[in-house]
A and B are shown apart, each in its own frame.
Chain A
Amino acid sequence: MPREFTPKVVTANALLEGDVVYLTEDDRWTRDLRDAELLTDEADATLRLLGAEAQQHVVVGAYLADMTAGAQGPEPTHFREDFRRTGPSNYSHGKQSAR
């Protein structure tokens, strides 16, 4: 049996601001992980990443990040992605300050 595919989102940093962005279902880049498209199919995820990588004028360093489906949208499975969607722990800067 093939290995089960861990759901993913396409994420990157914005070219101008450098902050973390996620790809939405309707091809926008959002600052909020909850609005990101959760990709549950491997072939689809690869395709979506290719599309994101082509958007060099908007984002930098696109990649697929592991997520699970949460009540309010994708939820990180790894602490690094948890920090990326939040901001640093020593000051209320980054995404947490915008909330």
Chain B
Amino acid sequence: MYQYTDFDAAYVARRNAEFRAQVERRINGALTEDEFKPLRLMNGLYLQLHAYMLRVAVPYGTLSSRQMRRLALIAERWDKGYGHFTTRQNIQFNWPRLRDVPDILEALAEVEMHSIQTSGNTIRNVTADHFAAAAADEVADPRPVAELIRQWSTDHPEFQFLPRKFKLAVTGSPNDRAVTAAHDIGLRIIERDGERGYCVIVGGGLGRTPMIGKVLTDFLPEPDLLPYIEAIVSVWNTIGRRDNKFKSRIKITVHEHGIDEIRALVEERFKHIRPTFTGVDQEMLAAIRGQFAPPPLRGGPIDRYAAARADDPVFRAWADTNLTAHRDPGHAIVTISLKAQGETPGDASAAQMRVMADLAERYGYDELRVSHEQNIVLPHVHKSDLPALHAALREAGLATANIGLISDIIACPGMDYCALATARSIPIAQQIATRFDALKLEHEIGPLKIKISGCINACGHHHVGHIGILGLDRAGVENYQITLGGDHREDARLGDRTGRGFAADELIPAIERIVHAYLALRDGPEETFFAAYQRVGMAPFKAALYDAEARAHAAE
């Protein structure tokens, strides 16, 4: 894992000291809220519905057990005993007091973590494939380049007054688990004729105007990366719309100017910038790569795993859903579900964080990941350790066997916490999960991604959910729009709206009608919901959703 240099440590310490003084000046009245707000946002501190919220960056989703334990300590000492892992691979604390935040930031700095650039019009935390360096399908670990971008973008002098926020995601696998097509810049590490480079996707994003990113170049040589993305951000910084907040993201710039014009502008800018990159960045990248050297994976028999699979149906069910193929056949990637049916998606108590940290230390080469799907990943676990790991997870209420299934729901905090929300998300996720659990249908339904956002900003990625749910305020009542057929992977697709929305109490039956329609029309258990939707389209689902009610109206 990346270790802070003296420079990093000094930089974070200086920022924390600066913020401590700013908090003090706010409290003693020297700063007004208008003056203080941009300063606190630069340090990840929001004021939400019921309290302040501190968003802590988990760069490219990678944590050590020591860092996870520190998050547990912060949750206990300064919050209400839990934290919320987000779709941006961050963690949010929902109840800090203003006076305590400088102490929290210091506690984070001690384990090489911070909240810098987790908010505001900056280049945000760079996200990456949560299976990085473990996945069997990987070309290269995306995290070294994500770390390089983090260093390049932190306090970059040209990009301190961007038109709006800017998000990058990196995947090193052809199977995209980092939703790169829905980011301002998505990078896909590829190989062509033995040479490594990047497919650069630009102008993706969800939110009010969802867009799938467009390919700016299908092969960028590795050494050109930083000057090229600097050229992209620079072009957008110059021509991006500052007159209208809703048109300020690069997706709108790309849409308005067209990808060809943007490409020409970027190439032009790149020509000027490229010579100023003398290769220092590549030397830094090489050094960073050294720090991401994979752990020495141990060998040994795996019969214990086979025996547990044969003997224990509960273990087998968990192994079937929560394990992913590791590049080493003796190991597995373990996804720990933070989606126990009826619980809040993405939440973990301090006790659970400690259990996960202990297990990572004991069985997982001391590494954890936060996934954008709001689960925790142990990327390297020897298969012979899986039965013991599973038993320990069960004791902590962390052995829910539902990864990729209908109850593995992404949900933003919604109006239970967020000041921007127009409706609640969490209770909807809880109700869907408990309902299908009660019906005992989850495993029969198979892979199905439900994603819920509590406002059009789409933190819950609803546009790319197989079933997307968007909570709105319709004349003072919570109302939920449904989209179908979205997908978040390499061939990302935006979902199609079904029609009029549903009140909260109509929504769960509506989701049930969609699922029953799918079960009735699928070609067999192998045809997933998404595949079935691609084959049959919207019509049968629309009929299932609205026809009964049209008939009821006609009969009145």
A contacts, CB < 8 Å to B = 13, 15-20, 56-57, 60-61, 77-80, 83-84, 87-91, 93-95
Q: Which residues of B contact A77 (CB under 8 A)?
A: 476
Q: Which of B3-11, B68-76, B92-100, B359-367 is found at the contact surface with chain A?
A: B92-100
- Does A18 contact B477, Cβ atoms closer than 8 Å? no
8 closest Cβ pairs, A-B complex? A88-B416, A18-B52, A18-B51, A94-B50, A57-B29, A90-B344, A90-B426, A60-B33
**Which of chain A's residues has its CB closest to B417's CB?**
A88
A68 to chain B minimum Cβ distance, whole angstroms, is: 12
Binary contact track B33-72/A, C-beta < 8 Å → 1, others 0: 1000000000000011111100000000000000000000
A18 to chain B minimum Cβ distance, whole angstroms, is: 4
Q: Which residues of A contact B97 (CB under 8 A)?
A: 16-18
Q: Which residues of A contact B273 (CB under 8 A)?
A: none
- Does A60 contact B47, Cβ atoms closer than 8 Å? yes
Which of A13, A16, A61, A80 interacts with B99 by CB under 8 Å? A16
Q: In the complex, what distance in Å separates the CA atom of A80 from the CA atom of B476?
A: 9
Which of A61, A78, A79 interacts with B33 by CB under 8 Å? A61
Given contacts A15-B98, A89-B424, A90-B427, contact A56 B417 (CB under 8 A): no
- Does A83 contact B51, Cβ atoms closer than 8 Å? no
Q: Which residues of A contact B52 (CB under 8 A)?
A: 18
Sample 24 A-B pairs with CB under 8 A, ordered by A number: A16-B27, A17-B97, A17-B98, A18-B51, A18-B52, A18-B96, A18-B98, A19-B50, A56-B33, A57-B27, A60-B33, A60-B47, A77-B476, A79-B477, A83-B415, A83-B416, A84-B49, A90-B347, A90-B426, A91-B80, A93-B94, A93-B95, A94-B50, A94-B51
- Does A56 contact B50, Cβ atoms closer than 8 Å? no
Most buried by B among A18, A78, A89, A95: A18
- Does B51 contact A56, Cβ atoms closer than 8 Å? no
A79 to chain B minimum Cβ distance, whole angstroms, is: 6
Is B478 at the interface (CB under 8 A from chain A)?
A: yes
Is B534 at the interface (CB under 8 A from chain A)?
A: no
B385 to chain A minimum Cβ distance, whole angstroms, is: 33
> Given contacts A90-B416, A91-B80, could you give 5 more A-B pairs where the C-beta distance is less than 8 Å?
A56-B29, A57-B29, A60-B47, A89-B427, A91-B344
**Which of chain B's residues has its CB closest to A59's CB?**
B33
B405 to chain A minimum Cβ distance, whole angstroms, is: 21
Q: In the complex, what distance in Å separates the CA atom of A59 from the CA atom of B235?
A: 40
**Which of chain A's residues has its CB closest to B429's CB?**
A90
Segment 223-277 of B: residues with Cβ below 8 Å from A: none
Given contacts A16-B99, A79-B477, A90-B427, contact A61 B51 (CB under 8 A): no
Q: Which residues of A contact B375 (CB under 8 A)?
A: none
Q: In the complex, what distance in Å separates the CA atom of A17 from the CA atom of B48?
A: 11
Is B453 at the interface (CB under 8 A from chain A)?
A: no
Is B125 at the interface (CB under 8 A from chain A)?
A: no
Binary contact track B402-424/A, C-beta < 8 Å → 1, others 0: 00000000000001110000001
- Does B98 contact A16, Cβ atoms closer than 8 Å? yes
Q: In the complex, what distance in Å separates the CA atom of A56 from the CA atom of B99?
A: 16
Q: Which residues of B contact A79 (CB under 8 A)?
A: 415, 473, 476-478
Binary contact track B95-127/A, C-beta < 8 Å → 1, others 0: 111110000000000000000000000000000
Is B430 at the interface (CB under 8 A from chain A)?
A: yes
Q: In the complex, what distance in Å separates the CA atom of A88 from the CA atom of B56?
A: 21
**Which of chain A's residues has its CB closest to B427's CB?**
A89
Is B32 at the interface (CB under 8 A from chain A)?
A: yes
Q: Which residues of A contact B424 (CB under 8 A)?
A: 83, 89
Q: In the complex, what distance in Å separates the CA atom of A57 from the CA atom of B29?
A: 6
Q: Which residues of A contact B48 (CB under 8 A)?
A: 18
Q: Which residues of B contact A19 (CB under 8 A)?
A: 50-51
**Which of chain B's residues has its CB closest to A61's CB?**
B47
- Does A87 contact B478, Cβ atoms closer than 8 Å? no
Q: Which residues of A contact B80 (CB under 8 A)?
A: 91, 93
Given contacts A18-B98, A57-B29, contact A88 B47 (CB under 8 A): no
